[in-house]
Amino acid sequence: MIQIATSWLLLLPVMFGIGWLASRWDLRLENRMDELERMRQQRSTFKGLSLLLNEQPDQAIETLVKIAQLDPETIELHFSLGNLFRRRGETERAIKVHQHLANRDDLKPRDRDHAAYELGRDFLRAGLLDRAEASLNRVGEGKFAVPAKESLLEMYQVERDWKKAIIAAHELAILQGKSHQTEIAQFHCELGQEALRRKDLQEAEQSIQRALQAVPNHSRALILQGDYAMAMERPAQAIDTWSLVATSHPAYMHLLADRWMIAHTAINQIDAGLDRLCELLKTQASGELLDIVHKQLMTIRGPQVANVMLADVMQHSPSLSALSKLAETRLALEESSANAERVLELQSILNLLRQRTTSLARYTCGNCGFRARRFYWQCPGCNNWEAYSPRRAEGAAPSGPSM
């Protein structure tokens, strides 16, 4: 008995050895299977990318979607693919890729938010605004909350839905811990301006007050408050409000100078109104204010007075616009004389100067450099608010975007 037990004992290490070898074999087999699976997926990925590069995006998407179902690790690849399509303007394909991700039940909350955000951007790009809004509103708190809210804010501005834009800007301010009061004041101003246009004076007043609450002494809100007073047939009150613009925001006076003169005419104070505008030219002698004051001076006080004003402006703030106005005034003075040669000479100088000022005088966005003939509160190039300098410049011919 003792002998049998001893032989069994001798067999034990051999059996352990066989067991160990079998487990190693299983492990190697398992690793080999994993490796084969990885290689198969890699081949599918390369096949998908190759189809993509060969301009066969439909088959590429199908192949890559299959990989994503087998391997959740390829989610990032899908986001990249979807964004690539969107950048190329192929929004339908971008939607297809992102929609597939958004519909998956096995995504982590962060990836689901990411998919809803990207899908919202796709719909926005495709102009499907209702679907964009629904998708962006599905994005929860987390990494994509801010970009989703920014996209919603951008969309409401495109739609000119200022009420929703105000709510989105308030929510974005909380999410970012950053003030959006300038935009909020501008959105209230947009509402105020629309209400003035349709003669809803009660709503106009409310919106203007809210704009002034968002940014006290806000330039555009004060201009609109004067317009509201004019609509209420209170020219003296309009002048009082616009005087605040003259004091606090003189560079914006060209936006209301015509109405300023109408208000002064209504209370028989034309001279006082014109004197105040002439006074402003000492510091704001460029651009449209000069055009308006010159036109008023020529009409009310005649070319002699306009000539003196322009000679003074050319001393302290020389510009092509001022020179053009000077030539126009001198021409008006000469036209009453019999000197036909001098009139012709001034006429050709004036034509040349007008051509130059028309082609060069532009308002320029301080953010993106977009140049435009008229002043915008919101830049048509980059959509930023109050990015335009209220001063029209006569710089060199634009090389960037302009209108």
Binding site for Zn ion (CB under 5 A): 365, 367-368, 370, 379, 381-382, 387
Angstrom distance (rounded) from CA 111 to CA 68: 13
CA dihedral 95, 96, 102, 107 (to 10 degrees): -130
Question: In angstroms, what is the minimal distance from the CB of 382 to Zn ion?
Answer: 3
The encoded tokens of residue 305 equal: 């007075």
Question: In angstroms, what is the minimal distance from the CB of 364 to Zn ion?
Answer: 9
For residue 126, which of 98, 153, 145, 160 has the smallest C-alpha distance?
98
Helical ranges in 198-319 per DSSP H: 201-214, 219-231, 235-248, 257-266, 270-280, 288-300, 303-316
Task: Using the minimum distance from each CB to Zn ion, give the nearer residue, 250 or 369.
Answer: 369
Q: In the chain, what is the greatest distance between 2 CA atoms, to the nearest angstrom? A: 149
- Between β-strands 371-372 and 363-364, what pairing exists: parallel, antiparallel or unpaired? antiparallel
Task: Using the minimum distance from each CB to Zn ion, give the nearer residue, 328 or 386.
Answer: 386
Task: Using the minimum distance from each CB to Zn ion, give the nearer residue, 154 or 200.
Answer: 154
Beta-ladder partners of 191 = none
Question: In angstroms, what is the minimal distance from the CB of 371 to Zn ion?
Answer: 10
Question: In angstroms, what is the minimal distance from the CB of 137 to Zn ion?
Answer: 28
The DSSP secondary structure of 232-253, one letter per residue, reads TT-HHHHHHHHHHHHHH-GGGG
Question: In angstroms, what is the minimal distance from the CB of 164 to Zn ion?
Answer: 23
Question: In angstroms, what is the minimal distance from the CB of 375 to Zn ion?
Answer: 13
Phi, psi of 364 (to 5 degrees): -125, 135
The encoded tokens of residue 343 equal: 């009139």
Task: Using the minimum distance from each CB to Zn ion, give the nearer residue, 225 or 364.
Answer: 364
